[in-house]
Every structure is written in structure tokens, then in C-alpha cells.
């Protein structure tokens, strides 16, 4: 794989031609005692998945990668890394598509011109219920192609008329950006991550619909709190805090 960007120090890389899912491979390796951190990238996934077990369309030429790390932090703190990951992907997309409006959508999608161009999936396991034994962060970025007829419209770098890197080049760029933001998080906590995410937040101050496990909620998206929960100003005037769900426009 051609890499234009210097690979960050301290991160190993495993390149696979085909795998069921890079997140599943990370899970297997973690259970086998493989030392973190390392990236896994595959040319093709046969059973790629997104949030809530949804199938992730794994078209050739796109980026399918998972980062396995051991942050040594609490479960709540580790969940903050989904926002850091979204920032990293937004920066990646912005480098190749500088004319696109790149935004992040709660909780962990990246949009380009109001269409989904990337998704992020965090998975972990904990033996003590306090902190993860390992954390896998899956990245799916539409570089050369994107699925059609999705509930939320999607796009790709190619569809945007942008420069389309190889998956290897895109990963090297992403890994470099990640190492910088992860260093910010480990040293300064969630506050700078939250601020950077809000600067890129899609529909901040606008009405959105939050799809929850039990019904929907509609209101004005006012931001995220110190834990990353969505702040929704409902029609009644009350401010509702939502820790899990999906946002639709």
C-alpha cells in the first residue's frame, strides 16, 4: 500500500486482503493477547457492520479499518473517543475534499454536503465492569463508492468530485491525525475534543429528531454535555439529555 504520510510511531499495522470484519478481527486478536495499539485494514469485508448490527456496505476502494487500543481509562471516558474519531475522519475528508462542507453528526457519523461519508463503531469488553480490557474503534470511509437507497443519504469522495486516495494512503493520513488527537485527549481530557467536535457539529441550533429505544424526541439541538450526551431543547422548553440514540434531520 502506498503511503504519502509518515506512519505514527508506536502503532503497528496489519493489512489483510479479506476478512469478515476488521472489528471482529480486532476482537479476536485482543482476546488472544495481541499487544495494542495497532491498526487493522482490509481490502474487503464480507460481514462489515455498523451501529446496532446493521450491515456496512463494503465496496472495493473504500477504507475499512479498526484501531485496537488499551486506554487504561473508565468505560465512560473511553466512550469520548468516538467524538475524537469523528473529528479525525472529518479532517481526513476535508484534506481530500476541501470544497465540501464536512460536518459531524451525533453520535458518530461524518457528513459531507449533508450526506453520510463515514461511520464509526466503538466496541469493547470489560472483565471488571469499570474499564475496558480493550477498545476497538472501527472506521468506514467512503472513498471510491457509496451505497444507494439508504435511510440517510450517503456520498463518497468520488461522488464529491474530490481527489480519491488509495485505502492505504487514506489510512496513513487518518492514523497520523488520530495520534495527534489521541495525545490531546490523554493529556487534556474531553474538553478540547468536545470544543472541536461542536465547531464541526451538523445542525447545531436547528430542529432535529432523535430516534430513541422507546419512541422519538424532537427539538432544537443545543450541543453535547461533558459526557458527550446530546442536549435537546424540547417544545415544552425543557432541556433533555440523551445518552443513546440516533439523530435525523
| Radius of gyration of the CA atoms of the chain, in A | 17
pLDDT digits (tens, 9 = 90+) for 91-120: 999 999 999 999 999 988 999 999 999 999
Alpha-carbon torsion 35, 36, 37, 42, what sign?
A: positive
**Rounded mean pLDDT of the chain?**
91
Q: Which residues pair with 135 in a beta bridge?
A: 69, 124
pTM listed for this prediction: 0.91
Each residue's pLDDT tens digit, 58-97: 567 899 999 999 999 999 999 999 999 999 999 999 999 9
Helix or strand (DSSP H, E) at 24:
helix 22-31
Fold type of domain 207-248: SH3 type barrels. (2.30.30)
- The pLDDT value recorded for residue 246 is 87
Least Cα distance to 232 among 212, 209, 213, 215 occurs for 209
CB 90 within 8 A of CB 200: yes
Return the domain boundaries, the chain.
12-199, 207-248
Q: Residue 30 in contact with residue 125, Cβ under 8 Å?
A: yes
Q: Which secondary structure element, helix H or strand E, spans residue 16, and what is its range?
A: strand 12-19
Sheet-wide strand order for 207-212? 239-242, 230-234, 215-224, 207-212, 246-248
pLDDT band for 37, please (50, 70, 90 cuts): very high
Q: Which strands, in side-by-side order, build the sheet including 38-45? A: 12-19, 38-45, 63-69, 134-141, 115-125, 109-112, 102-105
Summarize pLDDT for 198-234 with one digit per residue, the tens.
999 999 999 999 988 888 899 999 999 999 999 999 9
pLDDT for the residue numbered 171:
97
CATH superfamily of 12-199: Bira Bifunctional Protein; Domain 2 (3.30.930.10)
The dihedrals phi and psi of 238, each to the nearest 5 degrees, come to -75, 150
Mean pLDDT confidence for 173-187: 97
Give the DSSP H or E segment for 240. Answer: strand 239-242
pLDDT score at 52: 53
Q: What is the pLDDT of residue 147?
A: 86
State the pLDDT at residue 2.
41
Which residues are bridge partners to 201 per DSSP? 104
What is the mean pLDDT of the segment spanning 23-32?
94
Kind and range of the H or E run holding 86 = helix 81-96
Q: Give yes or no for residue 3 having a pLDDT over 50.
A: no
| Nearest partner of 119 among 131, 110, 106, judged by Cα | 110
Amino acid at each position: 500500500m502506498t503511503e504519502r504520510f509518515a506512519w505514527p510511531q508506536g502503532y503497528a499495522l496489519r493489512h489483510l486482503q479479506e476478512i469478515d470484519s476488521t472489528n471482529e478481527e480486532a476482537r479476536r486478536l485482543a482476546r488472544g493477547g495481541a499487544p495494542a495499539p495497532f491498526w487493522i485494514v482490509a481490502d474487503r469485508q464480507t460481514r462489515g457492520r455498523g451501529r446496532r448490527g446493521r450491515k456496512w456496505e463494503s465496496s472495493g476502494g473504500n477504507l475499512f479499518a479498526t484501531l485496537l487500543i488499551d486506554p487504561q481509562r473508565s468505560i465512560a471516558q473511553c466512550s469520548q473517543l468516538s467524538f475524537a474519531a469523528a473529528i479525525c475522519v472529518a479532517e481526513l475528508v476535508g484534506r481530500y475534499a476541501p470544497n465540501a462542507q464536512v460536518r459531524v453528526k451525533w453520535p458518530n457519523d461524518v457528513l459531507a454536503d449533508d450526506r453520510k461519508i463515514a461511520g464509526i463503531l466503538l466496541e469493547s469488553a470489560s472483565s471488571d465492569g469499570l474499564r475496558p480490557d480493550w477498545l476497538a474503534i472501527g472506521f468506514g470511509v467512503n472513498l471510491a463508492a457509496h451505497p444507494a437507497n439508504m435511510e440517510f443519504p450517503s456520498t463518497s469522495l468520488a461522488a464529491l468530485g474530490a481527489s480519491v486516495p488509495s485505502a492505504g494512503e487514506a489510512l496513513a493520513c487518518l492514523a497520523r491525525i488520530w495520534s495527534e488527537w489521541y495525545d490531546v485527549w490523554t493529556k487534556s481530557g474531553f474538553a478540547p475534543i468536545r470544543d472541536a467536535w461542536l465547531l464541526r457539529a451538523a445542525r447545531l441550533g436547528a430542529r432535529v429528531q432523535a430516534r430513541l429505544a422507546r419512541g422519538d424526541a424532537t427539538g432544537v439541538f443545543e450541543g453535547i454535555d461533558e459526557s458527550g450526551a446530546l442536549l435537546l431543547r424540547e417544545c415544552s422548553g425543557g432541556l433533555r439529555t440523551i445518552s443513546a440514540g440516533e439523530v435525523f434531520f
